[in-house]
Structure 1
Amino acid sequence: MPAWINHFCTASSLIAALWGAPVLAQDGGSASLTTGASYSSLRGGLAFVGLEADDLLGSGIDLSLGHQAGEDGGAFNARVSKTYALGDTALGTQTFVRVVLEGQTTDWTSQTYSMEHFGANVTVGAETNSGLRYDAQLFWQSDSLGNLGPSVSPLVPTGLDGSTAVGVGVGLGYSTFTSRGPLATGFDAHGSFLWATPAGDREWVAAEIGAQYNAQLPYGLVLAVQGDAGRIEGRGGDDVSIVDRAFIGNDAPRGFSYSGLGPRDYVLGGVDTALGGNSYLTASLELRTPTDNLAITLGAFVDAGALWDLDVTAGGASGMIDDSYSLRSAAGVAVYWDTSIGLLQLNVAKPIESRDYDKEEVVSLNLNFQF
């Protein structure tokens, strides 16, 4: 499935409570149940519950369920996957075939409309002797929009119900990282190309590239440099739909909420809709240092990002939409805490370059947990 848009809730929240209870799945495998509550500067109070199950009932099937609800609305996602490990083949080492079914629904008041997404894909991948990873996939997805609120832009389509995209994709990746964590060093590069064919309702081509380099410096310091860019274009006379456009923010660049920058139809006291963009880029430069507490790492960063280009800019509630290239930037500090339940990351960022209608996020607290 194209990774241009994150339908589910972002992790830009202040965690109020979090606890979990690991359990065993019948006939092998394991499962983890998590519950908790959080506060988001974008969505207010939020409670969530999730279930992750590996090798469900000894079937080799992995299952993921998640539900979030709060004063701003709610979201639900489900994912079922089955991976067939084929070992060394003519395609390379660690050859695999993976089948995935997924579904997501979101209905946030701050989003001004609800979204429903269903998808399926079959991926074949392997690794060469030189460490190059590659894969090819077939994908299908169906997307719908509903509950268009009074503050939604007239540029958001009202008749998007079960619109499909069907296509193929290829991906490449290479990494020298041998460990995880903020002080890990190495190089990683990846890229993908996706083509939504005329077999679906929406036809487009999209490409993404990204790279990360973490260099070891004297005194235990690590310099982390990261960049990503992507572009999507309609084909067959189709404009790129809002469900296929890119949205950035929250983690890249920090200092802005998710969908908080880029083209926006904004009227003070009325319409306020992020429209996404067909092109994006993000970059980050961060200097990290260990502390006397081995579980805590500190960082100072400068982030930048841009989101631009729409196929249709006329007809917005605010008039002509400004979809020009405009680089935003922010500077700040980060705290990484490797807790017993996962890595907690606190970011405090101050935008340097921004627009008046951008949604800034000075403080964000993200927790990636595993039990």
Structure 2
Amino acid sequence: IMELGDNRVNVVFNINEGGRTQIAAINFVGNSAYSSRRLSDVIATKRSSWLSFVLRDDVYDEDKLRADQELLRRFYYNHGYADFQVVSAVGELDDTTNKYTVTITVQEGDRYTFGDVSVESTIPEVDSKALESVVETHKGDVYNAKDVEDSIIALTEKVAGSGYAFAQVTPRGDRNFENHTISVVYTIDQGTKAYIERIEIRGNDRTRDYVIRREFDVSEGDAFNQVLIQRAKKRLEALNYFDKVDISTVPGSQPDQVVLVVDVVEKSTGEFSVGAGYSTGGETAGPSVEGSITERNFLGRGQYIKIAAGGGKNSRDYSFSFTEPYFLGRRIAAGFDVFQQTRNYDHYDSETLGATVRFGLPITDNISTQLAYNIAQEKYKLDSGCDDSPQDGIPDADCDISAAIVQGIDESPWIKSSVSLGLTYNTIDDMKNPHEGIYANVTTEVAGLGGDAKFVKVTGRGSVYQTLSEQLDLVGLISGGAGHIEGYGDDGLRIFDHFQSSDRMIRGFAYGGIGPVATGTSGDHLGGTTYFNASAEAQFPLPVIPESFGLRGAVFADAATLYGSKVDTALVDQSTTDMKLRASVGVGLMWASPFGPIRIDYAVPVKKQPTDDVQEFNFGIATRF
């Protein structure tokens, strides 16, 4: 305190921050079903590494450690270990190194499966047998607490929809310690009649009230239902607008009324990012840079907006996206995208200017659909190296380009107006580090609502993840895909609408490196009308390297075929249009970097055709979904 006279003082705080603490090690004690490396993936606290200055995930915090304990409980409960307990979780600071050692002691218990599963009701008008079809727990399945929660929600909604708004569903578990099963009885009772008098929202300085209220399936005057309240809490947390969401109740003005109090702590939802990358294949091979501005909660209205620009040696991309997640007050995501793309190929260039209007609708928690209208204008021209002078659209004598591609260029500019409908099924447990679940997508696109393009295109892709060894953290992946495009009308199918192969179809081959080939000496691959592909892969942690680095290895085998052509028969080598299988095997290195998932693959073709283009090494920012 510094005296200033005249009854005034200055208060000075001298702060010695000291050095920044780190986490030297995270040790798990008592775990046998899962390795320490696997459990480290589950919790949010991470061991310090050279990336910690970017991720800031190595900060020791007791509240964070308590949240990690809950993450561990949910992980074990969802994998059959109903008796799991966290015995202790402590962090010890070494003053000499200024580093913490975190030790988490657990008691796993035995693994259970579901025994008999039944539904009982004390409400005479409710048919318990008819409700068994909505239960998601089944006899013989591994015990899963999330399936129990989902069953409670499904039963509650079903009964409430039948006119029993105050019904309560209570699960009762009966453990059999000898055969390690848990029999579950869902009991439906007529709960205490209570109504929601009002919903008070606090802490939302930026987010508007209605953005929070619309996540509730109940409103003022409705019957109070704890299950629906907890589901609203999960929805609010999933928005990623808030650091913390708490929902509590206080007595209302009448004995049968309650007041819901929603306390939120807002967080930053805007992002400005600048990145650089490198890819060895695809339309944008080579080095690239990208900058974007993203706002997930635009003006506090819950709207998503993104402006992005990027480019590389042979590409330029500009885009603007907007999404309203609750169109017309319903849980329908409506939005639009506007984009411009330029590409420089070996002998020609392309420019695409287009827009998409889309509507997304969740059907269930795992199934969603998207309807979109797409319109784009595509322009193609020979580059200066192929049409130097007088740039009349006729390739120079020394330009080795196929007549089929020249014919496609002559047909531009080309307007494509289409409608697409997609269906997605997703049960993946963790999109960043998947271990279990299914991701499948089927899309149909019909072009011909005006414009020049007239075709029907159907594509599908599915991936199944399954943990093969809990102790070794070994994950298996089986994926497959297929597609077919068929033109109609007088103009038929142009060359640029054919499918091109890529590393998502088969690794070990160059982009556009398999399938029908043009006649002549150019060797240009023209794409195909039909493809099938399949892949089997095993993913595993790398020994010695700390799990905080986010590195994993993979071994894989791919197979694919691309065939069929609607190009003029005189311009395509007919011997290359038949269905012929290609196959490759290889190894991969995956890194969950702060800049996105980075993957390096080395694949060797074991079955190929003489006209195929091989590319054994592949590097890029990508995911296998």
Give TM-score scaled by structure 1 length: 0.81
Instruction: Say which of 63, 73, 92 aligns to 2:307.
Output: 63
In structure 2, the partner of 1:297 is 552
CA displacement, residues 292-320 of structure 1 (integer Å, 9 cap, x when unaligned): 4322211111001111111135223x754
Q: How far did residue 101 of structure 1 move?
A: 0.8
Instruction: Say which of 444, 458, 465 aligns to 1:207.
Output: 458
Query: Matched residue pairs, number?
Result: 331
Higher helix share: 2
Q: How far did residue 28 of structure 1 move?
A: 7.2
CA-based RMSD: 2.8
Name the amino acid aligned to 2:467: Q
Aligned equivalents of 2:322, 2:279: Cα separation in 1? 34
Aligned equivalents of 2:622, 2:569: Cα separation in 1? 41
In structure 2, the partner of 1:262 is 515
Whether the 8 Å CA contact 1:249–1:261 is kept in 2: the answer is no
Any unmatched runs of 5+ in structure 2? 1-53, 55-267, 387-398
Residue 202 and residue 322 in structure 1: after superposition, are their counterparts in 2 closer, same or farther (change >3 A)?
same
Name the amino acid aligned to 1:68: G
Name the amino acid aligned to 2:402: S
Aligned equivalents of 1:52, 1:327: Cα separation in 2? 41
Q: How far did residue 42 of structure 1 move?
A: 9.1
Aligned equivalents of 2:370, 2:621: Cα separation in 1? 30
Instruction: Say which of 611, 614, 619 aligns to 1:357.
Output: 611
Whether the 8 Å CA contact 1:143–1:243 is kept in 2: the answer is no
Aligned equivalents of 2:306, 2:283: Cα separation in 1? 30
Aligned equivalents of 2:323, 2:342: Cα separation in 1? 25
Name the amino acid aligned to 1:31: F
Q: Write out aligned runs for 1:1-371 (5 A).
A: 29-35=270-276, 38=278, 40=280, 46-55=286-295, 60-69=304-313, 74-86=314-326, 93=331, 95-109=332-346, 112-147=347-382, 149=386, 150-156=399-405, 157=407, 158-181=409-432, 183-218=434-469, 219-265=472-518, 267=520, 270-292=521-543, 293=545, 294=547, 295-316=550-571, 320=574, 322-367=576-621
Aligned equivalents of 1:312, 1:108: Cα separation in 2? 20
Name the amino acid aligned to 2:321: S
CA displacement, residues 76-130 of structure 1 (integer Å, 9 cap, x when unaligned): 111111101107966xx4x210111111111132xx3211112111111111235
Aligned equivalents of 1:132, 1:171: Cα separation in 2? 11
In structure 1, the partner of 2:154 is none
Name the amino acid aligned to 2:403: P
In structure 1, the partner of 2:247 is none
Aligned equivalents of 2:269, 2:463: Cα separation in 1? 37
CA displacement, residues 107-160 of structure 1 (integer Å, 9 cap, x when unaligned): 132xx3211112111111111235210111111111121116322211122323
Residue 368 and residue 204 in structure 1: after superposition, are their counterparts in 2 closer, same or farther (change >3 A)?
closer
Residue 235 and residue 31 in structure 1: after superposition, are their counterparts in 2 closer, same or farther (change >3 A)?
same
Aligned equivalents of 2:424, 2:284: Cα separation in 1? 38
Aligned equivalents of 1:131, 1:360: Cα separation in 2? 38
Whether the 8 Å CA contact 1:336–1:346 is kept in 2: the answer is yes
Whether the 8 Å CA contact 1:299–1:333 is kept in 2: the answer is yes
Which of the two has higher C-alpha Rg?
2
- Matched position secondary structure for 2:553: strand
Aligned equivalents of 1:44, 1:174: Cα separation in 2? 29
Residue 344 and residue 131 in structure 1: after superposition, are their counterparts in 2 closer, same or farther (change >3 A)?
closer
CA displacement, residues 255-309 of structure 1 (integer Å, 9 cap, x when unaligned): 0111111112265xx4131201111121110112223432221111100111111
Residue 209 and residue 52 in structure 1: after superposition, are their counterparts in 2 closer, same or farther (change >3 A)?
same
Aligned equivalents of 2:357, 2:340: Cα separation in 1? 15
Whether the 8 Å CA contact 2:282–2:502 is kept in 1: the answer is no
Aligned equivalents of 2:285, 2:371: Cα separation in 1? 40
Could you tell me the percent identity over the aligned residues? 21
Whether the 8 Å CA contact 1:151–1:271 is kept in 2: the answer is yes
Give TM-score scaled by structure 2 length: 0.49
Residue 261 and residue 319 in structure 1: after superposition, are their counterparts in 2 closer, same or farther (change >3 A)?
closer
Q: How far did residue 341 of structure 1 move?
A: 2.9
Residue 121 and residue 49 in structure 1: after superposition, are their counterparts in 2 closer, same or farther (change >3 A)?
same
Name the amino acid aligned to 2:309: L
Whether the 8 Å CA contact 2:354–2:376 is kept in 1: the answer is yes
Name the amino acid aligned to 1:97: A
- Matched position secondary structure for 1:169: strand
Residue 48 and residue 57 in structure 1: after superposition, are their counterparts in 2 closer, same or farther (change >3 A)?
farther
Whether the 8 Å CA contact 2:270–2:295 is kept in 1: the answer is yes
Whether the 8 Å CA contact 1:143–1:160 is kept in 2: the answer is no
Residue 29 and residue 39 in structure 1: after superposition, are their counterparts in 2 closer, same or farther (change >3 A)?
closer
In structure 2, the partner of 1:5 is none
Aligned equivalents of 1:341, 1:107: Cα separation in 2? 26
Whether the 8 Å CA contact 2:417–2:451 is kept in 1: the answer is yes
Aligned equivalents of 1:132, 1:246: Cα separation in 2? 27
Larger RCO (CA under 8 A, 6+ residues apart): 1
Higher strand share: 1
Greater shift, 126-135 or 229-238, is seen at 126-135
Q: How far did residue 227 of structure 1 move?
A: 0.6
